[in-house]
Amino acid sequence: MKIALIAHDKKKDDLLRFMDIHLDFFKNQELFATGTTGGRIIEHTGLPVNRCKSGPLGGDQEIGAMVANKAIDCIIFFRDPLTAQPHEPDVTALLRLSDVYDVPLATNEGTAEAVLYHLTRTERE
């Protein structure tokens, strides 16, 4: 399964903790991430990650293009709802594309847990 991983700056540590908890799952997936997040994941977990540009430099748009081309199966995007993002239009576009192409998108740890639960059940069946 091809999974995109994105986290705003104040949420990167939360994403790394989430990945630690679910490392066995992530080891068996093809991972994609925006630049800085991808670098942190590689450094923290040692997992291979296909890195796009940093979010503000077009990384969210790159992942959006993969969604539109049906090259991403799921997005886990730990968003920071309390900090204004300079690339908010790109974030909004990515959210819209996930809806248009029916790609599961988790924007916080609770929904990420639910999505992973569903994906692991689906893999077993």
- Binding site residue list for substrate: 8, 12, 34-37, 54-55, 87
- Binding site residue list: 8, 12, 34-37, 54-55, 87
In the chain, what percentage of residues exceed pLDDT 90?
82
The CATH number of the domain holding residue 10 is 3.40.50.1380
Q: How many residues does the chain have?
A: 125
Q: What is the reported pLDDT for 65? A: 96
Whether the pLDDT of residue 92 is over 70: the answer is: yes
Whether the pLDDT of residue 108 is over 90: the answer is: yes
| CA 114 to chain CA centroid, nearest Å | 14
Supply the range of the domain harboring residue 68.
Answer: 2-124
Among 9, 13, 60, 80, the active-site one is: 60
Tokens matching residue 107:
């924007």
Task: Report residue 8's pLDDT band, with 50, 70 and 90 as the boundaries.
Answer: very high
Q: What is the reported pLDDT for 124? A: 63
| Number of folded domains that form the chain | 1
Tokens matching residue 95:
């959210």
Whether the pLDDT of residue 125 is over 70: the answer is: no
Cite the beta strand spans of the chain per DSSP E.
Answer: 2-7, 30-33, 50-51, 74-78, 105-106
24 is catalytic: no
Q: Determine which helix (DSSP H) or strand (DSSP E) holds 15, and give its type and residue range.
A: helix 12-21
